Amino acid sequence: MDHITCALFLLSILSVCFHLFKSSFRNSSRLPPGPKPMPIFGNIFELGDKPHRSFANLAKIHGPLISLKLGSVTTIVVSSSHVAKEMFLKNDQALANRNIPDSIRASNHDKLSMSWLPVSDKWRHLRKISAVLLLSPQRLDASQALREAKVKQLLEYVAECSKSSKSIDIGRAAFTTSLNLLSNTIFSKELAQYNSSVSQEFKELIWSIMEEIGRPNCADFFPILGYIDPYGIRRRLTTYFDKLIAIFQDIIRERQKARSSNSSTTNDTLDTLLNLYQENELTVDEIHHLLADIFDAGTDTSSSTLEWAMAELIKNPEMMARAQKEIEQTLGKDRPIIQESDISKLPYLQAIIKETLRLHPPIVLLIPRKAETNLELYGYMVPKNAQVLVNLWAIGRDPKEEGYAQDLDMTEKFGITLQTAKPLQIIPITRI
């Protein structure tokens, strides 16, 4: 009897193991195609120093949806607008949360940043505050005069450099403009001058943060290594965050001192944030990290786009000449500055910006997402806890996309200057 019981018990165990193995094999066979992983390391060595380019090359071989094994992390990469659209429209809820890189845990940024928090009441609260403070129609209308003033300052700086035959660092000048636009909107003060080293220092600080966040980290491939921070990325990021937050702390202390003496009448974004702090709607740490998110996202992205646009126009002088001709014919030669209301009258200029964003997206890989459950995408299975990446750089250069070229292309062939030309498509999703 004991032998029969033991045999039945072993048979049950074997049956369960077989079922699990069969299920695992079935799931793995439904994964998107991809290169064969090495033992332990998986496909890590195929990333190279520019992962977005490596992913794009792999997509040419395996298709618009590929699966990789990066250490112990299953990673799914989307390299087609059609797959991205299906992903965001059909699976936006299951993919709403982030896969947190080890570097983001620096200074508890993952617990305080609106960009990295999971979908929750806290995230919704911070998102609502950001939308009201910066992106509401009332706020945008109120800051129009400020935007025009900052653009005018930029043009005056360019004219001054032109008169003195001084070369212009387009990226640095654009960054200073973006920085001062944001700082005036939020703090009612300028943080940099065109001829000052302060803007360069702040820019290098922002760049250092973005560079460290985007740097490949073996702790992301083998999470257990996060305890030792093998490359020192989290340690360096903590230093950068501390420097950035120290700048914000000085500004906040100065404002609180002015408010206590009733000498502050700015009523700007910082005043609103401090009011929310007094009402226990926000903590000081949440304010610091919200400001870090805003400045990280709102300065380097805008300046890099302008820098790339100017580089493309210098590379293609006939396109620059046509854009100048469009402005002169539409607005006249005597207009000192293009108004925001004029943009709709300048389709060729709009097309240049769109083409620049297509070829040189400010963020080449969207923030990594985490599959909260098994889901189906493009006929394949994305397993629970998989990391999902969207390669914007590859999507913008996908040869299968109608009208997509590898270089800035403004010809009638692609319809980009025609009235029937399709604009850049926006996919409504739960969170970017």
- Does 178 lie in the same domain as 247? yes
Kindly indicate the confidence band of residue 211, based on its pLDDT and cuts at 50, 70 and 90.
confident
Residue 226's pLDDT is: 92
Q: At which of 268, 297, 312 does a domain end?
A: 312
Compute the residue count for the chain.
432
pLDDT at 22 over 90: no
- Does 346 lie in the same domain as 237? no
Q: Give 56's contacts (C-beta < 8 A, 6+ positions apart).
A: 79, 391, 393, 394, 397
Q: Per DSSP, what are the bridge partners of residue 67?
A: 76
Residue 17's pLDDT is: 45
pLDDT at 419 over 50: no
pLDDT per residue as tens digits for the range 212-228: 988 889 999 999 999 99
Give me 258's structure tokens. 């002015």
More confident residue, 130 or 25: 130
Q: At which of 312, 327, 347 does a domain end?
A: 312
Residue 29's pLDDT is: 60
- Does 189 lie in the same domain as 80? no
Taking residues 248-253, report their average pLDDT: 95
- Does 307 lie in the same domain as 180? yes
Taking residues 135-160, report their average pLDDT: 87
Instruction: Give me the amino acid identity at 25.
Output: F
pLDDT per residue as tens digits for the range 367-395: 999 999 999 999 999 999 999 999 999 99
CB atoms within 10 A of CB 340: 11
d(CA 237, CA 103): 7
CB atoms within 10 A of CB 421: 15
Listing DSSP states for 268-286 in one string gives -HHHHHHHHHHTTSS-HHH
Kindly indicate the confidence band of residue 3, based on its pLDDT and cuts at 50, 70 and 90.
very low
* pLDDT > 90 in the chain, percent: 64
Range of the domain at 238: 121-312
Is there a domain that residue 24 lies in? no
Residues 303/359/368/430 CA torsion (nearest 10 deg): 80
Residue 192's pLDDT is: 84
Number of domains the chain contains: 2
- Does 332 lie in the same domain as 420? yes
Q: Which of 287, 215, 282 is nearest to 249 (CA)?
A: 287
pLDDT per residue as tens digits for the range 28-84: 569 999 999 999 999 999 999 899 999 999 999 999 999 999 999 999 999 999 999
pLDDT per residue as tens digits for the range 344-374: 999 999 889 988 998 999 999 999 999 999 9
d(CA 317, CA 365): 30
- Does 410 lie in the same domain as 320? yes
Residue with tokens 């806890």: 385
- Does 265 lie in the same domain as 149? yes
Kindly report the CATH number assigned to the domain that includes residue 240.
1.10.630.10
Listing DSSP states for 23-69 in one string gives HHHHHHHTSPP-PPPBTTTBTGGGS-S-HHHHHHHHHHHH-SEEEEE
Instruction: Give me the amino acid identity at 56.
Output: A
Mean pLDDT across the chain, nearest whole number?
Answer: 86
Residue 432's pLDDT is: 52
Residue 5's pLDDT is: 42
Q: At which of 312, 347, 375 does a domain end?
A: 312
Taking residues 226-251, report their average pLDDT: 95
pLDDT at 334 over 90: no
Kindly indicate the confidence band of residue 416, based on its pLDDT and cuts at 50, 70 and 90.
very low
More confident residue, 70 or 297: 70
Residue with tokens 């992913």: 55
Residue 20's pLDDT is: 43
3-state helix, strand and coil shares in percent for the chain, rounded to the nearest 5: 60, 5, 35
Kindly indicate the confidence band of residue 431, based on its pLDDT and cuts at 50, 70 and 90.
low
Among 11-15, 90-94, 130-134, top mean pLDDT goes to 90-94
**Predicted TM-score (pTM) of this structure:** 0.85
Q: Which of 387, 406, 307 is nearest to 42 (CA)?
A: 387
Residue 423's pLDDT is: 46
Q: Which of 233, 169, 163 is nearest to 196 (CA)?
A: 169
Q: Encode burial over 345-356: b for 16+ CB neighbours within 10 A, e otherwise.
A: ebbbbbbbeebb
- Does 132 lie in the same domain as 88? no
Kindly indicate the confidence band of residue 200, based on its pLDDT and cuts at 50, 70 and 90.
confident
Q: Which of 220, 192, 196, 1 is nearest to 110 (CA)?
A: 220
Question: Which of 5-19, 166-180, 214-228, 270-284 comes out lowest in average pLDDT?
Answer: 5-19
Listing DSSP states for 356-386 in one string gives HHHHS-SSSBPPPEE-SS-EEETTEEE-TT-
- Does 188 lie in the same domain as 213? yes
pLDDT at 21 over 50: no
CB atoms within 10 A of CB 114: 20
Kindly indicate the confidence band of residue 427, based on its pLDDT and cuts at 50, 70 and 90.
low
CB atoms within 10 A of CB 57: 13
- Does 200 lie in the same domain as 146? yes
